Amino acid sequence: MSHDSPPVRRLADWDHDRLGRLAAEHGTPLYVLDVDRVAENYERFASAFPDAHVMYAAKAHTGRAVLSKLLDTGADIECAAWGELQRAIDAGADPDTLQYTAVNPPDHDLDYAVDLAEDNPGLTVTGGARDTFDRLEARGYDGRVAIRVNPGIGTGHHEKVATGKDAKFGIPYDQVPEVAEDVAEGFDLVGIHAHAGSGVLHDDLDDHCRAIGKVADMGRKVETEVTPLEFVDFGGGFGVPYREDEEPLDMQVVGEKVRDAVGELDAQIKLEPGRYVVADAECILTEVNTVKETPAATVVGVDASLATLIRPAMFGSYHPIRNVTAPDREAEPVSVGGPCCTSADVFCTDRPIARPEREDLLAIGNAGAYGYELANQFHSQPRPAEVAIEGGETRVVRERETLDDVTSLER
């Protein structure tokens, strides 16, 4: 890893001239991905946990450019759905190294995983309900499994991502030993798994480590009372600063805190960063089309929308916004929104930005995690193109959709 790789990339750190050229060449809205930054973030994380098995949580960004780069960097891949398993394999992953974390898996997902495991017995299936193990058994599967534990402690940037206390995720903590005994009789029980939440920064770190400690305790209990384990997987959840005044995590310090929380453990520690690896490696470029002065606000209309980036509408998420065309223009409070016919289609309200004018180019930062993954076609808007920067070169890694693409499956 480059020793001058900063722990966070701010919007001001992007090459504005290059962003302007990319927007002129490829149009807007446009996702711009720095593939080298993805690798730097993964390596920084992995260096903080030298004794752990670090897997990338594919759900944060399943683009082939991301998956291929991480595989080249030495990462393994954790998948939450059958499509992610297939995309990881298409990107070059060895199926024997994959881990599939099943959450209320549809029949098709389980069928796919069981079929995949027939020729790739190294595949690990994680179940978070007794039903999942019953359904695997009914399919004749008796291979590698892990039990997802619900530690009863949720952390993260929003209640909708505090999975550690959401009954949807995992076996209730006190039921795990009994379930482990049953599972160990019919499967190769190799690990337990948990994920407390997402977007964890300084204020949530102590609670996050408390959840990690509970999961480690359960790992020791299962090893003592049921069977030796290959790993205890503590998930991901480590955040990045979306706001300009937030400081990034010192991953070396985080590594020490996690090791203290885990304590002595015979099984290997496994971690699954997703957001941390990709969030600040991508931004969205969007063009201003409307500037409207009203008594309530100065409204700036852009061609990106909640179809391009839904996180502000879905979670109330903050994403930094910068005027790429004129970053030194005097800042004024503005509200920036897109063309969708809903009040939810707003990226910020009364935020000081270098005053936008029509045809200015704006950049929306920290769009790499759950950005394109949640892009949609609301209002029949084709999804944007995505270009990748790697080694100084730029290439299109996802073509811009057309309206024919949007309607291609209609009959």
Q: Are 66 and 278 in contact (CB under 8 A)?
A: yes
Question: Which residues carry a binding-site annotation for substrate?
Answer: 275, 311, 370
Q: Is residue 4 predicted with pLDDT exceeding 70? A: no
Q: How many residues does the chain have?
A: 411
**Strand (E) or helix (H) holding 276:** helix 275-278
Q: Is residue 158 predicted with pLDDT exceeding 60? A: no
Side-chain-facing half-sphere of 114: CA atoms under 13 Å:
18
Please write the tens of the pLDDT for every residue from 313-368.
Answer: 999 999 999 999 999 999 999 999 999 999 999 999 999 999 999 999 999 999 99
Smallest Cα–Cα separation from 340: which of 382, 378, 289?
A: 378
Question: Which residues carry a binding-site annotation?
Answer: 237, 272-275, 311, 370
Q: Is residue 157 predicted with pLDDT exceeding 80? A: no
Q: Are 183 and 229 in contact (CB under 8 A)?
A: no
**Could you tell me if residue 253 is left (phi over 0), alpha (psi between -120 and 50 degrees) or otherwise beta?**
alpha
Helices (H), 15-172: 16-26, 35-48, 64-73, 82-90, 107-119, 130-138
Catalytic residues: 341
Instruction: Give the mean pLDDT of 10-33.
Output: 98
Instruction: Give the mean pLDDT of 231-257.
Output: 95
* Fold of the domain built from segment(s) 36-277: TIM Barrel (3.20.20)
Per domain, the residue ranges of the chain are 36-277, 280-407
Distance of CA 275 to the CA centre of its chain: 4
Domain 280-407: which CATH number of 1.10.3720.10, 3.40.50.720, 3.30.413.10, 2.40.37.10? 2.40.37.10
Q: Are 49 and 257 in contact (CB under 8 A)?
A: no
Would 36-277 and 280-407 be classified into the same CATH topology? Answer: no
| Average pLDDT of every residue of the chain | 94
Of 101-110, 166-175, 282-291, 307-316, the poorest mean pLDDT is in 166-175
Query: 389 by DSSP, 3-state: which?
Result: strand
Name the pTM for this structure. Answer: 0.95
Question: Which residues carry a binding-site annotation for pyridoxal 5'-phosphate?
Answer: 237, 272-275, 370
Amino acid at 303: D
Calpha distance 361→286 (Å, rounded): 6
- For the record, the structure tokens of 167 come out as 């009954």
Calpha distance 182→142 (Å, rounded): 12
Calpha distance 283→178 (Å, rounded): 47
